[in-house]
Structure 1
C-alpha cells in the first residue's frame, strides 16, 4: 500500500478543504498560504508514515491559526490567518524567543549613548532616530508567550504579530498596564523587547485585561509579511 492510501484521514480532509477554498475564493493574498499549508500537511503525513515504519518517531504539524486584535477591555476581533511551514521543514525545534514588557521611563529624539541601557531606533526617511529607556526591575522579563500569529491589521492593513499571553502573565500584564495608564507620556507606554531589540512602544490609557498585545514595530508599518511571519515563528518555537 502506498503513502497516499496510508496517510491519516485528517490530513487528507485538510488538504482537500484548503485547496477547494483557494479555488472557490480566488483570494490572491491568502491563497498561496492555504495551498502551501495543504501541500505541507500532506508532505508531513507521508514523512511521518515512512519514519514510523522505520521505527522513528517525529512530531510535525501545519497550523491554521486564528488572530485576535487586542483592545483595552479584552474584547477581540477574529480573522483567519495561515502559518505556512517552510519547504521541507519537519517542525520548528528552535528555542523560543522570550519577550520582555517594560514600563518606559523616557523617550528622546536621539540615538542612545553607548552604555546607557536604552534601546535605539534608527532614523528612516520619514522618522528621526530616538532612544527609549525602560525599567527592567518593574517590568515583565523572560516571557514565553502562549501563541503568536502574524496577520494584517483590520484598521489599516499593516502587518503585525498578535501575541496571546499565558493566564499567569495575563494577570501580570493587566497589573503592569494598569499601573502606568494614568502616567503622562511617555511613561504611560511600555517597551516590547525581543533579543535586545525594541519591537514596539505602545501607550495605554487603561489596564489591558484580555492578555493580548500587538507587535507592530518601532513605528506602525515597520513590519513586512516576512518579518512578521519570522517573528511569530520565533516566538512560537518548540525548543
Structure 2
C-alpha cells in the first residue's frame, strides 16, 4: 500500500513500538489493552487517509477506543471496528472466509478452469496449485473477530481469527476428519475473496475455534497486509 500522507507510517511505527513494549514487559496486565489501543489507532489513521484520498469533504466523527474498568479493576478494551475500503479492494462489505479440505497440491500454476488456487512463484519458492473440496468444507463464513499481531514464536505477522459457536463445532469436525490423512490431504485451505491465504496441516481436531492466517508461506504477511486483512474480516460496528 502506497501511503500519500505521513499519518499511517507514523501510526504504524507507534503501533509496532507498543507491541514491542508489551512483548518485552511480558506479564504487565495492561499489555492487552495497550496492544488493542495501538491496533485501533492504526485503523483510525488508515481510515482517515482513505477518506482524504477519496476527496471526502465531510468531517468524519471517529469513535475513539477506550478502556473501561470492571469490578476486579482489570482494564477491558472497548472499540468500534469498521470494514476496510479503498486501496484494500473492499467495497464496504465484511470479507467472508472459506475453510476447505485440501485434495491435492502440485508444483505448478493451476490450469485454466481447473478450479484450483494458484500461489505465484517468488524468489524463494516456485508456483504451485492447490485443489480443495468445497462440498466438504465451510464456505462463506463470517468470523466473530480477527486481530493482527506478531507470532510469539518467530515474530512474523499473522491474523488470528475466532469463529462463532456453530462454526467452531463445524471446524472441529472438519479438522478432525482430515487429521489422520497423508499430506496434503491433512491440510485445509483458507480462502478469502477467491485467494488462497494459507494451507496449514493438522495433527488433531482443533476445538478452540481459532485459526491463524500467515499467508501461503510463513512470513508472507507484513504489518500493513495483516492489519488490512484483519480489518476486512472484522464484523462491522
TM-score, length-scaled by structure 2: 0.66
Q: Secondary structure at the match of 1:204?
A: coil
Q: Distance in 2 between matches of 1:216 and 1:150?
A: 10
- Secondary structure of 2:159 counterpart: strand
Cα distance in 2, alignment partners of residues 116 and 63 from structure 1? 49
Which protein has the larger Cα radius of gyration, Structure 1 or Structure 2? 1
CA offset at residue 117 of structure 1? 0.1
Aligned 1:1-239 pairs, distance under 5 A = 34=38, 37=41, 60=63, 62=65, 91-92=82-83, 94-238=92-236
Structure 2, unpaired ranges of 5+: 1-16, 25-33, 46-60, 68-76, 85-91
Q: Distance in 1 between matches of 2:93 and 2:63?
A: 16
Between the aligned partners of 1:35 and 1:161, the Cα distance in structure 2 is 12
Deviation at 1:95, TM superposition (A): 1.1
Structure 1 unaligned regions, length at least 5: 1-20, 42-57, 65-81
Taking the aligned partners of 1:35 and 1:232, their CA distance within structure 2 comes to 10
1:26 shift after superposition: 10
Check whether the contact 1:147–1:235 (CA below 8 A) recurs between aligned residues: yes
What is the alpha-carbon distance in structure 1 between the residues aligned to residue 124 and residue 187 of structure 2?
Answer: 22
Deviation at 1:238, TM superposition (A): 1.1
Q: 2:157·2:219 contact (CA, 8 Å) conserved in 1?
A: yes
SS at match of 2:148: strand
Decide whether aligned partners of structure 1 residues 132 and 59 sit closer, same or farther in structure 2, where only a CA change above 3 A counts.
same
State whether residues 82 and 231 of structure 2, in contact with CA within 8 Å, keep that contact through their aligned partners in structure 1: no
Divergent runs of 4+, >4 A: 25-28
Query: How many equivalent residue pairs?
Result: 178
The alignment yields a C-alpha RMSD, in angstroms, of: 3.5
TM-score under structure 1 normalisation?
0.66
CA distance in 2, matches of 1:224, 1:35: 14
Per the alignment, do residues 147 and 60 of structure 1 end up closer, same or farther by CA in structure 2, a change over 3 Å counting? same
